[in-house]
Chains A and B, each alone.
Chain A
C-alpha cells in the first residue's frame, strides 16, 4: 500500500542508476496518428465475405431447382465482374481493388437476377455493365449511386427482353406453382392476370404458397427459394452486417399494401392475407429486401432514412406490381429509391445527444 504522505528519509530514493545511466536505446521511428489506436477486427472484405456466405443457401437452392446451369451462370458472372474490375484498375493505373470482394458480391447478385436459361454470354455482358458502368465509372466501391447488380439487370432487360423473361420450369417440372389450369411464366404474372381478368380465386393461390416458400417455382436464379433467402437475411441481421430496418419496412410495406388490396373484400379473415403473403414470397422481394436494398453504398446511412427508404421501395413495388406494366417491380423500385438516397440522408439527420429540436 502506498501513501502519498510518507516522503520520509528512510524512503528517500537514491537517484537511481537506471535513470542516471540511461543508456541510449535504439528506437525505431515512432508512428504518429490520431486516436483511436485500436481498431475493431471487422473490415470491408469481411463484410463482403459475410454477404457471400449469406447467399450460399440461395445458390444451393437454385442448383437444386434449376440444375447446374445456375451455378455456371453464377460463376460466369462472378468471373466477369472481378475481371472487369481488375482490367479497369489496371488500365487506369489505380490500386487493385478486387481484394475487397465487392465485385464477387456484385457478380453473384447479377446472376441471382437472371433466368437460369439465359445464355452465358448475356450474363457476362450484364456483369461487365454492372461493374464497368454502374460502379467503376463513378469511382469504384462506395462511390456508385445505384446498385450495380440491378443496373446490370436493367441493362439486360432493355436489350434482351425476351431472354430475360423466359423462365423455364424447375427440374421438378413446376413452372409457376399453380394448378395446371393457369399457365403463366411466373407466379406474379399469374396473380396479375387473374386480378385483371377478374378470375382471381384465393384458394388456387393459397395452394401455391408452400411451393413459393421452398422454391419449387420458376423465376430468376436467386429469388426462387424464400426460405433460403430468409436464412441468409437473418444471418446478416444477426451478424449485425445489415440493418433490419430496410428489409423489415420494405417487406412490411408490400405486405400491408397488398393486404389492403387483397381482392377478397375482407380484411380480417385467413383469405385476406393470402394475397399479401403470396406477394411477399413470390418474385424478387425477399432477394431485393435482404440483399439489394441493403447495399450499403446505395442506401441511407441514417436509421430514420433507412426506414423511409424501405417504405419507399415497398410503395413503388406495390404500385408497379399492382398497376404497372410489369408483373414484377422490385428491381426498378430499388433503383428509383437509390436515386433519392442523398436527399433522404440530408432530411433525416439524427437528433444528437442533448439537442433541442426546433431551436434556431
Chain B
C-alpha cells in the first residue's frame, strides 16, 4: 500500500505570510490548570445554541451535560470543571456578541462523571452508533468553523463519500496546535481517523500536512508503516495560505472542485481537522465529552509562548496572564490565527471549542496608512476562489449588494488573502463580511 505521496499538492492563488511558528512548534503541550471559574457559552457551533439544562445553584461535575443540542444542526455542551453554577446569563462571546453562557465556580474537587465509552470495540460498532457517540460528546470541527461533527458525518445516501481528508495543514501563521497533536498524540489521532473512515465507508483516506512541518510528516510516516494504519495516505502539501481551507485542500489532494454554493460531499469528500480526529477517538474509546482542547498562545506581546491543553470556558485573561503577556503593550488580542481569527474586545471572553489559538500583538498591523485602490489586481491573483475582491468591496461599500452578488460575493471564503496582499491596505474582508451579512439578513427577512 502506498502510504507516501511524493508529489507536493497545492491550489491556485494564495499568499505566503511569514509562518511565525518557531516560537511554539518545538514546545511540548502543557496541561493548563483548571481555572477557579469557567464561562461556557451555549453557542459553540454553527447552528442553533444548546438549551441550558442547569440553573443557578446546581452542582455539576466534569463532563456533565449542561446544554443539550436543539434541532438538527447544533451540538451538546458539557461542563469542564466540577463545582456550582453561579449564573446562566449572556456573557461576552468570541464572536463579539453577548451570548447565553453557563458560569461555573470550580470547587477544586475535579470530580468527574462516569465517562461512558462505547460498550464494544469501535471496529464492531455500526456507523450510526459511532456517530451517536460523537453527537453525545458534543464534538464540533476544531479548526475554527465549528460545524457539528455528527452532522458532517451523516451525509444523505444520495451523496456517497469515497474520500476522507484529515486537515493537518495548519496554514495559519503562529498556530502549532495541530502540529503538536500530530507529534504528541499520533496514535490516538490516527485511531480517530480510522473511526472516521469506518463511519463514512471512505475508500481513500489522506492526511494533508504542509511541508513546513517536517517532524510531523516524519512522525506520521513512521506510524503509517504500521499495518493498522496502512489504509491512510500522507499528502505533503506546499506551504501556502490558505492550504488548509476545506475546498483548497480537496482540490489540492483530489483535483476535484466543490461546486459553487455546494458542499464537499457533492464531490464525495469529507474533510475533518486533525484535532477533531483526536477528540473523536477520545469520545469513542474513552467516552470523553469535548470539555478541553489544545490551543497555541503566542504573539509578539506574549513573553512565554506555549501550547496548552485548556478547559473550555477558561477566560482569555487567565491564559494570557499565565503566559506572561505584556498587557501594557498589547494593542490587539486575537482568537484564532492572524489571517482569519477574531479580534477580541476584552479579556473576559472564554476559550470555546473552536479556539485554536490566542495571539497578543503589540502593534496594530491592520490599521496602518491606507491608500486608494489603484486597481493593481494583487487581490485577484491572491484569491483562491478566483474572485475580484476589490471590485466586490467597492460595490458593497456603495451598498450595491446585487452587483456584488453578481460578482460572486457569496463564494468568498473570507480567508483574507486579498487584504493581506493589498498594497493600498484596504480592509477588503470587512466588506466581504458586511456584504454577506447583508445578503443573509435580506434572505432571512424575505422568508419571514
Contacts and interface: CB of A to CB of B under 8 A. Distances in A.
Interface of A: 1-5, 7, 9, 11-16, 18-20, 22, 25-28, 30-40, 42-47, 100, 102, 139-143, 243, 296-299, 301-303, 306, 345, 349-356
Interface string B322-362: 10000110111110101111111111000000000001010
Question: B260, B368, B414 — which one has the most chain A CB atoms within 10 A of its CB?
Answer: B260
Interface stretch (B146-154, B195-203, B225-233, B416-424): B416-424
Contacts of A355: 259-260, 386, 408, 411
Contacts of B336: 35
A356 B34 contact: no
Question: B35, B112, B407 — which one has the most chain A CB atoms within 10 A of its CB?
Answer: B35
B423 A47 contact: yes
Interface string B304-320: 00000100000001100
Interface in B189-238: none
Interface stretch (B46-54, B118-126, B160-168, B369-377): B369-377
Contacts of A22: 317-318, 321
Given A43-B425, A44-B423, A354-B259, A5 B282 contact: yes
Given A27-B327, A44-B374, A143-B372, A37 B338 contact: yes
Question: B12, B184, B334, B368 — which one has the most chain A CB atoms within 10 A of its CB?
Answer: B334
B258 interface: yes
A35 B340 contact: yes
B176 to A, nearest CB: 14
B255 interface: no
A301 B391 contact: yes
Contacts of A139: 372
Contacts of B359: 37
6 contacts: A22-B321, A25-B327, A34-B433, A36-B366, A142-B373, A352-B260
Interface residues of B, number: 97
B8 interface: no
Contacts of B343: 30-35, 37
A13 B110 CA distance: 8
Interface in B33-67: 33-37, 62
A39 to B, nearest CB: 6
Contacts of B28: 1-2
Nearest to B389: A301
A36 B339 contact: yes
A52 B36 CA distance: 61
A19 B361 contact: no
A39 B112 contact: no
B367 interface: yes
B31 interface: yes
B169 interface: no
Nearest to B18: A38
Closest 9 CB pairs of A and B: A36-B416, A13-B33, A34-B430, A142-B372, A44-B371, A352-B386, A25-B327, A354-B260, A37-B338
B374 A2 contact: no
Interface of B: 12, 15, 17-18, 28-31, 33-37, 62, 96, 106, 108, 110, 112, 173, 184-185, 247, 251, 257-262, 282, 286, 288, 292, 309, 317-318, 321-322, 327-328, 330-334, 336, 338-347, 359, 361, 364-369, 371-378, 380, 384-388, 390-391, 407-408, 411, 414, 416, 419-425, 427, 429-430, 433
**Interface class of chain A by DSSP:** loop
Given A19-B318, A38-B339, A354-B247, A28 B372 contact: no
B411 A352 contact: yes
B36 A141 contact: no
Contacts of B106: 15
Contact of A26 (B318, B328, B345, B386): B328
Contacts, number: 242
A353 B433 CA distance: 19
A30 B344 contact: yes
B429 A35 contact: yes
A35 B327 contact: no
Contacts of A102: 374
Nearest to B257: A354
A1 B338 CA distance: 28
Question: A1, A14, A18, A301 — which one has the most chain B CB atoms within 10 A of its CB?
Answer: A301
Contacts of B36: 15-16, 19-20
A182 to B, nearest CB: 43
Given A13-B33, A19-B318, A44-B424, A31 B331 contact: yes
Nearest to A353: B385
Contacts of B288: 4-5
B35 A36 contact: no
A350 B374 CA distance: 19
Contact of B387 (A39, A143, A352): A352
A45 to B, nearest CB: 8
A39 B386 contact: no
Given A141-B371, A353-B247, 5 more contacts: A5-B282, A18-B318, A31-B364, A35-B342, A35-B343
Contacts of A143: 372
A39 B422 contact: yes
Contact of A35 (B34, B262, B416): B416
B173 A38 contact: yes
Contacts of B173: 38
B423 A43 contact: yes
A141 B372 contact: yes
A16 B110 CA distance: 13
A301 B257 contact: no
A235 B24 CA distance: 38
A37 B110 CA distance: 38
Question: B331, B371, B380 — which one has the most chain A CB atoms within 10 A of its CB?
Answer: B371
B420 A36 contact: yes
B330 A27 contact: yes
B286 A34 contact: no
Contact of B371 (A28, A30, A35, A43): A43
A301 B375 contact: yes
Contacts of A31: 331-332, 343, 364, 366-367
B43 to A, nearest CB: 20
Contacts of A39: 365-366, 368, 419-420, 422, 425
A28 B361 CA distance: 12
Given A13-B33, A353-B257, A301 B390 contact: yes
A47 B376 CA distance: 9
A299 B423 CA distance: 17
Contacts of B339: 35-38
Contacts of A2: 28-31, 184-185, 309
A340 B71 CA distance: 53
Contacts of B338: 35-38
